[in-house]
Amino acid sequence: MVVVLLGPPGVGKGTQAVRLVDDLSAAHVSTGDLLRAARREGTELGNLAQGFMDRGELVPDDLILDLVKEHLIGIGASRDVIFDGFPRTTDQATGLDVVLETSGRKVDTVVLFEAPDDVLVQRLSGRRSCPDCGAVHNAYFSPPAVEGVCDRCGGTLQHRADDEPDTVKRRLQVYLDQTAPLIAFYEDHPGTMTRIGADRDVEAIYAEFNSAVTGSSEGVS
């Protein structure tokens, strides 16, 4: 099963993705996490991506598609995959279809998380991310048991530089201009698309999210 999570920055995709990945033993493909890892390791991709990320802009499609293709090889074709923060443009979405087709797969389910802009800005200002495992905590809404320490893996939580207010505004605009058109793309795409209101309690969102994915996966391998 291949699942795509859509939605603006701060809507909680990462938090929900990590829970589902743990419950389904699926592979979590977050292009944001992969790019941050590349930056930490100082790879060529990391260096190329750095300026785009710091400005809150999208990294060019060809770099992202190469990164995803390479990562999927390591995952193998039989494992469930949850894409988080990818695709972000229609060219990435059509590129993903081509890549999946080569292994006889397709996007089975798309989940669109939605919340008002003021909620997104507030969430991003409190967000504390784990660079080691990708788990996301929030200083206001879901604080870790021990301040600054990831509940999932014990890593040191960080406030991302691109979660600062000016970059957040830019990222929200980039989402509207370049990623929101994917909603229409996936509405016309084979497979199911579910919209989930994400301005609610994390548990309530997860219950709806899990049933949207596992319910629609019946009969899908």
Cα 21 from Cα 109, distance rounded (Å):
15
Strand, helix or coil for residue 42: coil
When asked if residue 52 is in the footprint of ligand AMP (CB under 6 A), the reply is yes
For ligand AMP, the closer CB: 56 or 216:
56
Cα 98 from Cα 3, distance rounded (Å):
15
Placement of tokens 């949850």 in the chain: 82
Nearest residue to ligand AMP on Cβ basis: 32
When asked if residue 171 is in the footprint of ligand AMP (CB under 6 A), the reply is yes
List 19, 36, 105, 127, catalytic entry: 127
Active site residue 55: no
When asked if residue 134 is in the footprint of ligand AMP (CB under 6 A), the reply is no
Among 7, 12, 32, 95, which residue sits at the site for ligand AMP (rule: CB under 6 A)?
32
Closest contact distance (angstroms) between CB of 85 and ligand AMP is 3
When asked if residue 185 is in the footprint of ligand AMP (CB under 6 A), the reply is no
List 39, 55, 152, 160, catalytic entry: 160
For ligand AMP, the closer CB: 98 or 220:
98
Closest contact distance (angstroms) between CB of 106 and ligand AMP is 19
When asked if residue 198 is in the footprint of ligand AMP (CB under 6 A), the reply is no
* Count, residues in the chain: 221
When asked if residue 19 is in the footprint of ligand AMP (CB under 6 A), the reply is no
Cα 5 from Cα 82, distance rounded (Å):
7
**Secondary structure of the chain: what % helix, strand, coil (to 5)?**
50, 15, 35
Strands 127-129 and 136-138: antiparallel
Closest contact distance (angstroms) between CB of 113 and ligand AMP is 13
One-letter amino acid of 34: L
Q: Smallest Cα–Cα separation from 15: which of 150, 178, 143, 202?
A: 202
CB 124 within 8 A of CB 163: yes
For ligand AMP, the closer CB: 12 or 105:
12
Nearby residues of 132 by Cβ (< 8 Å), 6 or more positions away: 150, 153, 155, 156
| Catalytic center residues | 13, 88, 127, 160, 171
What residue ranges bind ligand AMP (CB under 6 A)?
9, 31-32, 35, 52-53, 56-59, 64, 85-86, 88, 92, 162, 171
